[in-house]
A = this chain, B = another copy of it.
Amino acid sequence: MKLDIILTAQEVYPQKVKGKTVIVIDVLRATSVMTTALANGAHQIIPVLYPEEAFALQKKIGKENVILGGERNAIPIEGFDFGNSPFSYPPEIIKDKTLIITTTNGTRAIINSRSASQLLIGSFLNDQAIIEAVKKQEEVVIVASGSNNLFTLEDSLCAGKIAHQLQGLVDTDLSDAAIAMAHLYEQNKNNLHALASQGQHFKRLKKLGATKDLEYCFQSNITKVIPTYTHEGTLVCL
């Protein structure tokens, strides 16, 4: 398997992802929220770039079965139903609903990766299911979305974990970035939360009071659900 890691959403270009299996990761918190919402029974998720698109789409689909979620710079968006905490999307809220979501980094990474042959949404929450799903692919690209066009520790460590574990399962040919992040994960795996907690985005969320989210999003393998991007621009269970 050829395995690359792209270290920010901004560096995703069609030629890097076209025709490949792509895993988009935004641990804090977009892809953790998406995975949680589908695991809790959401009918589908529609990622959009701008709040205006979300409002227009809600109008088109009808308010009844639609929930608007997301953030800008970790702050909920005015007029939206919920922000970007996974705890805002329990089954009693999200079951059978369409979640329209826009976030600063994760949704951009997904939309930039649309030319992939298969586009999967990953996080620590579904890491083992992701590994199982991609292990027979020939070319895999993991997008560590980062925050505001910057590298983040939590996304790179999650990408490194997947790369490192794939190395143990199949023959791999890793890019320099994948080698670096697989090492970084492996050498810090017993200390992952402590290392990630030094990150700028992590510290900002902590300051905003998202302590529960910061624990939740680092849990490994709590669901087998993998959101996958469809030709219709929606995310559904793989």
Contacts and interface: CB of A to CB of B under 8 A. Distances in A.
Interface of A: 7-8, 10-11, 149-153, 156, 174-177, 179-180, 183-184, 187-188, 195, 198-201
Number of copies of this chain that the complex holds? 2
A153 B175 CA distance: 9
A156 B180 contact: yes
Contact of A8 (B11, B152, B201): B11
Nearest to A5: B151
Contacts of A11: 8, 10-11, 149
Nearest to A156: B180
B195 A176 contact: no
A220 to B, nearest CB: 20
A201 B177 CA distance: 12
Contacts of A153: 176, 179-180
A183 B184 CA distance: 7
A9 to B, nearest CB: 12
A184 B176 CA distance: 13
A8 B152 CA distance: 15
A177 B149 CA distance: 12
Contacts of A177: 7, 150-151
Contact of A199 (B10, B156, B179, B184): B179
Contacts of A201: 176
